[in-house]
């Protein structure tokens, strides 16, 4: 029995074919739409890389633990994605309510920085490289 290509390989193959064979033939509004599709496929490939790297999620959870405490992060759920969703909702609500308006330093700033860096790794990694941002190193 043969082994089928993985999800990342399939997305990368589709992206390469799209960029090499379809995108060059487009112009005007269709070219813009094609560039958006290529960007979405590239982002999907990077997200699949992130799925394989639990370090990304752990850095964010560590930031939430610095802000809320380890016990509160543990109570947010068993699955890392569930924890991230619940904790992100709490943080967004607290920011909207102005809870940190006078203290956007320390753990809040560190967490917002990690969240931004992790999102940029997916959506615009060239920005991180150009600005010489770096990821926090695990202790």
The verdict on 75 and 38 lying in the same domain is no
- The most distant pair of C-alpha atoms in the chain lies apart, rounded to whole Å, by 62
The verdict on 120 and 69 lying in the same domain is yes
The verdict on 30 and 62 lying in the same domain is no
The verdict on 110 and 58 lying in the same domain is yes
The verdict on 19 and 75 lying in the same domain is no
* Total domain count, the chain: 2
As a whole number, mean pLDDT of residues 13-39 equals 94
pLDDT at 74: 86
List pLDDT tens digits, range 41-91: 998 888 887 765 678 888 999 999 999 998 888 888 888 888 889 999 999
Mean pLDDT, the chain, rounded, equals 85
What confidence category does residue 16 fall into, taking pLDDT thresholds of 50, 70 and 90?
very high
Q: Is residue 136 part of a domain?
A: no
The verdict on 48 and 62 lying in the same domain is no
Could you tell me if 7 and 48 are in contact, meaning their C-beta atoms sit under 8 angstroms apart? yes
77: left (phi over 0), alpha (psi -120 to 50) or beta: left
List pLDDT tens digits, range 111-132: 999 999 888 888 888 887 777 6
Q: Which residues of 41-56 are buried (b: 16+ CB within 10 A; e: fewer)?
A: bbebbbebeeeeeeeb
The domain in which residue 34 lies consists of 7-52
Q: Is residue 137 part of a domain?
A: no
């Amino acid at each position: 029995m043969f082994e089928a290509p993985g999800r990342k390989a399939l997305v990368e193959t589709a992206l390469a074919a799209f960029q090499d064979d379809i995108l060059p033939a487009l112009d005007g509004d269709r070219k813009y739409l094609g560039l958006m599709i290529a960007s979405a496929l590239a982002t999907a490939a990077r997200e699949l890389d992130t799925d394989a790297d639990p370090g990304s999620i752990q850095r964010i959870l560590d930031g939430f633990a610095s802000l809320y405490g380890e016990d509160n992060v543990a109570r947010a759920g068993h699955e890392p994605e569930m924890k991230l969703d619940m904790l992100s909702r709490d943080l967004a609500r607290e920011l909207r309510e102005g809870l940190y308006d006078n203290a956007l330093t320390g753990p809040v700033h560190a967490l917002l920085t990690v969240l931004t860096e992790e999102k940029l790794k997916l959506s615009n990694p060239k920005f991180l490289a150009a600005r010489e941002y770096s990821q926090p190193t695990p202790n």
